[in-house]
Amino acid sequence: MTTHRRKLSFILAVYVILAFTYSVVTPIFEASDEVWHYPMVKYLADHGLALPPQDPANPGPWRQEGSQPPLYYMIAAVLTSGIDTSDMDLVRRINPHADIGVIRPDGNANMIVHRQEAETFPWRGTTLAVHIARFFSIALGLGTVLGTYQLAREIFPDWPMVALGAAALNAFLPMFLFISASVNNDNLANLLGNLLTLLIVRLVKTPQKRQDEPAVRSYIRTYDVIGIVTGAGLLAKLNIGFLIPLVALALLVVSSRQRDWRPFVIGGAISGGLTIAIAGWWYIRNAQLYGDLTGLNMFLNMVGRRAVYANLPQLWSERHSFTQAYWGFFGGMNVSLPEWAYVVFNLIGGVGLIGAVGFLVYRILPHPPTPSSLDREGETSSRSVQNRPVKVEWLPALVTIIWPAVTFVSYLRWTAETPASQGRLVFGALSAISLWMAVGLVWWLPGKWQGVVMTGVAGYFGVVAAFAPFLVIAPRYELPANETGISGMGTTGIFREPAGDSGLIKLAGTGTVIWENEVKPEDYFDVWTAWKIERPLRRDWSIFVHLVTPDGVIIGQRDVYPGQGLLATADLPEGRGWLKNISVWIPATAYAPMTLDVQVGWYDLQTGERLMLPNGDETLNIGQVELLPRADDENLGVPNPIRINFDNQIELVGYDMSDLSPAAGDTVELTLYWRGLTRMSQGYKIFANILDPQTLTKYAASDGMPVNWNAPTSTWTPGDIIKDVHTLTVDPNAPPGIYETEIGWYLQAEDGTLPRLRIVTPDGGMADNYLNLSRVRILAADDTP
């Protein structure tokens, strides 16, 4: 075995070990969307591979994954069909408050509440089936890594070091390992997409026909394989369809090179016919059931669309989550690597990208020939430093450039419609991406340094990938310690289950700590609470922490399962105690200053029932905190300093309200402080409403140009502060309750439309076209505030 083959074997072996580690360390259903992917596998296994019809009103436990092409699920179903998985609902107990896609300082990352006894080794039931499906995914990932190596050898046959580097960058990529060790149809799509890229490259490299060679017969096997892989790919994921034009282009290149129409016509007929024969039935089914060949509309109806289609500034603002989810972003997109790890990864990726572009430019430009200098393993030697002796066949190379570009553009189109800024979605082109990253990292270096740098980069990938399961993933799912000492603490409250149940849960006084005595908007407020089960509870109860104004308006709220989602009260035995922080987010528009009560309580998410205190109360005050306004850094002299950017034209810099608890029929003076950010040629109108957020019924409204029509925006001087007062008269018939105060800007266009200005987030993204200020409580007309 040659040296580079031994190195390849080492890379593949390390990949298997790492992927197996991720598979075992990551709790089941805690990988990206696995909680939805596996139920699809189970359904097919239980129903003889029959597919479930999709219904947004009754999504089923597989949710949007039932709209995905089914090949991965079918194979996994066959592999697990002999296992009794009737315990899935017992094992797959959803954490209803999980912060999916959001990182909170107090945790709550787990998507299910785990029953340890059902998940420990030796595996059985659903746990066993999930792990078998994961091992199937690992095998698919191994094929992708091998395909990356083969693709690099096809493009650079005399540069095996780059092929090894590309394979290592693929194999040791933490996010690739994480996804490859999960139940996810992306794993089959990644293999087939990258394999089809390799097949297209080999097809493009078809030499000119020899005089004694049959015109087409020797290549029919190639057309068969391409057709089979393309058909399987279209049954794995829709994005494989974007490779079909590249297949057609490759066949056209072969026909042109051989000056024979038959490769294009016969090759297209064979590969296309096989593709349709393998995958066509699924697309016909979509058309019959949903009136849509791809089923994408049903998928979007299930998963949900963005409220507003994302524009380029919005997509650019999501670049960090994209790169995180390319390098390594675990759990439900809520368990991240340390920030320094992303900085290093981004530096490596940036050098690789710039270097790859530099390589292509350098090879395109004319240069005087230099003698080739290769060592016996085929690696460039130190004698070739500037003019690389690397042959580039441009048509095959172009395939590996076009496919990542097409993949990225299709990703942008997809994530513009549904929130999915995840770099892992481009892994269908990972072989080509890894290839060019490897080239970009080393081509400009002296030959003796190329191997050193590539080994160092691959080593960094491998070290991060090796430690992440133990130092990043596993700690997020560790159960809170059993705080037995809580029994000696003073009791500030005992909550009791409703009549018919007998459970008691105690809040220990000295275990309740409010670390801060003041907080500001856009801060987290931390409360540490110590609890003990006095008598076992029969239901799974959620704990809430509310920050409440003197008028009873909730300013900040946090609802979680105990132990930040890691515990379920129905599981906890008598005497089980825990101490855990709960972090409550203060909204940016929270009205200040005021004193807020800190209240805790428990409720049943399914029924809305609450645990009761002995005096009949449902909430317990455990302290107070002062909500202070932000610092007025610019000395503008406005109340409640704030920075809300409307379309880079107008900025809200502060606001004031005369009353947060008006009675029906009363008036509220809402004072808004504006600053123009640019010269405006048009006169925008502002609306201010007090409305019911559920029905959107307005119970007070103001609409017009600022300052009672006396300060049109077309007359503003950028930088000047405009004091704009709105009188909101509450409808005398307004029912008592909590309502939103909503403001926004719009233009009365000549075509009769009323386009609104959208809010620009600090990172340049585009948010809603309205802003909610402080909530208000409307009292009955005869109530005294």
The answer to whether residues 305 and 402 touch, using CB atoms and an 8 Å cutoff, is: no
| 696-702 mean pLDDT | 94
Say whether pLDDT at 483 is over 90: no
Provide the percentage of residues in the chain whose pLDDT is more than 90: 75
Task: Reply yes or no on whether the pLDDT at 609 is more than 90.
Answer: yes
- Cβ atoms of 405 and 436 within 8 Å: the answer is no
pLDDT top residue among 209 and 87: 87
Walk me through the domains of the chain, giving residue ranges and CATH numbers: 3-86+121-472 (no CATH), 484-627 (2.60.40.2550), 644-778 (2.60.40.770)
523 has pLDDT over 50: yes
CA distance 7 to 30: 33
Tokens of 267: 């090759």
- The stretch 676-680 carries a mean pLDDT of 95
Tokens (6 digits) for 568:
């379920």
For 569-596, the pLDDT digits (tens) are 999 999 899 988 899 999 999 999 999 9
Residue 382 has pLDDT above 50, yes or no: no
Residue 572: name the closest of 488, 505, 498 by CA.
505
Under a CB-based contact definition with an 8 Å cutoff, are residues 14 and 177 in contact?
A: no
- Decide if pLDDT at 380 tops 70: no
pLDDT tens-digit map of 408-426: 999 999 998 888 789 999 9
Residue 381 pLDDT greater than 70, yes or no: no
pLDDT in tens, 22-37: 999 999 999 989 999 9
Give the pLDDT of residue 369: 57
For residue 377, is pLDDT > 70?
A: no
Question: What pLDDT digit, counting tens, does each position of 198-208 carry?
Answer: 999 999 987 75
Residue 513 has pLDDT above 80, yes or no: no
Q: 519, 628 in Cβ contact below 8 A?
A: yes
- Categorize the per-residue pLDDT at 374 as very low, low, confident or very high, splitting at 50, 70 and 90: very low
The DSSP code for 557 is: E
**Residue 387 scores a pLDDT above 50:** no
| Measured distance CA(345)–CA(510) in Å, rounded | 44
pLDDT at residue 372, as a whole number: 45
Query: Please, which residues bridge with residue 535 across strands?
Result: 504
Q: Sorting pLDDT into bands at 50, 70 and 90, what band is 604?
A: very high
pLDDT category, 515, cuts 50, 70, 90? Answer: low
Long-range interactions of 114-118: CB distance < 8 A, separation 24+: 114/27, 114/477, 114/566, 115/90, 115/91, 115/571, 116/479, 118/87, 118/90, 118/91
Quick one: average pLDDT of 266-294? 94
The mean predicted confidence, pLDDT, of the chain is 90
Comparing 175 with 490, the larger pLDDT belongs to 175
Angle between helices 394-417 and 430-442 (to 10 degrees): 120
pLDDT in the model for residue 53: 87
Q: Are 163 and 146 in contact (CB under 8 A)?
A: no
pLDDT of residue 378: 42
Q: What SS3 class is residue 83?
A: coil
Bin 757: left if φ > 0, else alpha if -120 < ψ < 50, else beta: beta
271 and 279 Cβ atoms separated by less than 8 Å: no
pLDDT of residue 130: 98
Rounded to an integer, what distance in angstroms lies between the CA atom of residue 637 and that of residue 614?
48
pLDDT tier, 429 (very low <50, low <70, confident <90, very high otherwise): very high
Both ends of the chain: CA-CA distance in Å? 86
For residue 219, what pLDDT band results from cuts at 50, 70 and 90? Answer: low
Cα(326)–Cα(323) distance, rounded to whole angstroms? 5
Q: What is the pLDDT of residue 247?
A: 94
Cβ–Cβ under 8 Å, residues 558 and 545:
yes
Residue 306: exposed, middle, or buried by beta-carbon count in 10 A (0-12, 13-18, 19+)?
middle
DSSP-derived secondary structure for 203-223: HHTPPPPPTTS-SSGGGHHHH
One-letter identity of residue 380: T
Residue 389 pLDDT > 90, yes or no?
A: no
Cis geometry, peptide bond prior to residue 573 (ω within 30 degrees of 0): no
pLDDT at 384 over 70: no
Three-state SS at 762: coil
pLDDT score of 383: 37
- In whole angstroms, give the CA distance from residue 532 to residue 578: 7
**Cα–Cα dist 740/242, whole Å:** 46
Report whether pLDDT(475) > 50.
Answer: yes
> Is it the case that residue 373 has pLDDT exceeding 50?
no
At 699 the pLDDT is 96
Instruction: For 720-740, write each residue's pLDDT tens digit.
Output: 999 999 999 999 999 999 999
Residues 6+ apart with CB under 8 A from 333: 32, 100, 101, 321, 325, 422
- For residue 740, the model assigns a pLDDT of 95
pLDDT at 9 over 80: yes
Instruction: Report the pLDDT value the prediction gives residue 491, as an integer from 0 to 100.
Output: 58
Q: Which residue bears the tokens 């057609």?
A: 248
pLDDT of residue 512: 57
DSSP track, 87-154:
THHHH--B-TT--TT---TT----SB---HHHHSSSP-HHHHHHHHHHHHHHHHHHHHHHHHHHHHHH
Percent over 70 (pLDDT), the chain: 92
DSSP states of 137-166 as a string? HHHHHHHHHHHHHHHHHHH-TT-HHHHHHH
**Contact residues for 753 (Cβ-Cβ < 8 A; gap 6+):** none
